[in-house]
Structure 1
Amino acid sequence: MMLSRLMSGSNRSLDLPCVCTVRLLDDSEYTCNVQRDAKGQHLFDLLCHHLNLLEKDYFGIRYVDPDKQRHWLEFTKGIAKQMRSRSPFIMCFRVKFYPPDPAALKEEITRYLVFLQVKRDLYHGRLLCKTSDAALLAAYILQAEIGDYDPGKHPEGYSSKFQFLPKHSEKLERRISEIHRHELSGLSPAGAELCFLRKAQTLETYGVDPHPCKDVSGNSAFLAFTPFGFIVLQGNKRVHFIKWSDATKMKFEGKTFHLYVREKEEKRLVLTFIAPTPEACKHLWKCGVENQSFFKLENSKQVRTVSSSNLFFKGSRYRYSGRVAKEVMESSAKIKRDPPEIHRAGMVPSRSCPSIGLRLSSVPRTRRRAVHISIMEGLESLRDSAHSTPVRSSDHLDVLTHRAFRETVISDEAYTPCCSILPTPVYDSNLELSFGQQVNGTTCTTKDEESDLAAPSIPDMETPPPALPGPEGSVQREPEPEQENTFLQSVLRLLAVTLCLLLALLLLLVILAESDLELAFLRDIRLTPEFQQFHYQYFCPLRRWVSCKLHPIIRLIDS
Structure 2
Amino acid sequence: QGTEMEEKDYSETDGLSDKTTPSKTQKSPQKTTKKVKSALCRVTLLDASEYECEVEKHARGQVLFDMVCEHLNLLEKDYFGLTFCDSDSQKNWLDPSKEIKKQIRSKCLGRVHPPQPWGTLSPSAPSCRYYLCLQLRADIITGRLPCSFVTHALLGSYAVQAELGDYDAEEHVGNYVSELRFAPNQTRELEERIMELHKTYRGMTPGEAEIHFLENAKKLSMYGVDLHHAKDSEGIDIMLGVCANGLLIYRDRLRINRFAWPKILKISYKRSNFYIKIRPGEYEQFESTIGFKLPNHRSAKRLWKVCIEHHTFFRLVSPEPPPKGFLVMGSKFRYSGRTQA
Query: What TM-score, normalized by structure 1, do the two folds share?
Result: 0.51
Whole-angstrom distance in 2 between the partners of 1:314 and 1:76: 19
Give the aligned partner of residue 44 of structure 1. Answer: 65
RMSD of aligned residue pairs (Cα, Å): 2.3
- Structure having the higher helix fraction is 1
1:69 paired with 2:90, answer yes
- 2:274: which partner in 1? 257
Measure, in 1, the Cα distance between the counterparts of 2:158 and 2:331: 45
1:193 to 210, 214, 222: 210
1:128 to 113, 126, 146: 146
In structure 2, what is the Cα distance between the partners aligned to 1:13 and 1:264? Answer: 64
Letter aligned with residue 153 of structure 1 = E
* Residue aligning to 1:220: 237
| Per-residue deviation, 1:303 | 4.5
Sort the Cα spacing of 1:236 and 1:32 in 2 relative to 1 into closer, same or farther, 3 A.
Answer: closer
Question: Structure 1 counterpart of 2:302, which letter?
Answer: H
> 2:193 matched to 1:178?
no
Amino acid at match of 2:114: P
1:60 match: 81
Q: Deviations over 1:411-437 (max 9, x none)?
A: xxxxxxxxxxxxxxxxxxxxxxxxxxx
Partner of 2:165: 147
Separation in structure 2 between the aligned mates of residue 32 and residue 137 of structure 1, nearest angstrom: 34
Q: Distance in 1 between matches of 2:197 and 2:34?
A: 59
Change beyond 3 A, Cα 1:232–1:304: farther
Write the mapping of 1:214-253 to structure 2, written as runs, cut at 5 A: 214-253=231-270
- The residue type equivalent to 1:92 in the other structure is K
2:116 corresponds in structure 1 to: 101
- Equivalent in 210, 221, 224 of residue 207 of structure 1: 224
Which one has the largest radius of gyration? 1
Higher strand proportion, which one? 2
Deviates more, 1:287-296 or 1:260-269: 260-269
SS for the counterpart of 2:277 is strand
Distance 1:248 1:166 in 2: 39
1:274-423 → structure 2 map (5 Å cutoff): 274-300=293-319, 302-304=320-322, 316-326=331-341
The correspondence for 1:91, drawn from 99, 106, 109, is: 106
Give per-residue Cα distances to partners, 1:194-229, cap 9 Å, x unaligned.
100011112221112311111121221111211222
Superposed CA offset, 1:397-416 (max 9, x none): xxxxxxxxxxxxxxxxxxxx
Q: Following the alignment from structure 1 to structure 2, what is the Cα–Cα distance between the partners of residues 115 and 161?
A: 18
| Structure 2 counterpart SS, 1:112 | helix
* Bigger relative contact order (CA 8 A; separation at least 6): 1
Give 1:13 shift: 11
- CA separation of 1:248/1:186 partners in 2, compared to 1, >3 Å: closer, same or farther? same
Match of 2:180 among 157, 162, 166: 162
CA distance in 2, matches of 1:262, 1:204: 25
- Residue aligned with 2:77, SS: coil
Report the residue type matching 1:238 in the other structure.
R
CA distance in 2, matches of 1:315, 1:277: 18
1:21 shift after superposition? 1.3
d(CA) in 2 for partners of 1:14, 1:272: 51
Instruction: Please name the residue that 2:16 is paired with.
Output: none
- Whole-angstrom CA distance in 1 between matches of 2:45 and 2:316: 29
Q: Compute the displacement of 1:315 (Å).
A: 5.2
Alpha-carbon contact 1:208-1:225 (below 8 Å) kept: yes
Aligned partners of 2:312 and 2:318 also within 8 Å: no
| Amino acid in structure 2 at the alignment position of 1:252 | Y
Which SS does the other structure have where 1:93 is aligned? strand
Instruction: List structure 1 segments (4+ residues) > 6 angstroms apart after TM superposition.
Output: none
Distance 2:139 2:89 in 1: 21
Aligned partner letter, 2:42: T
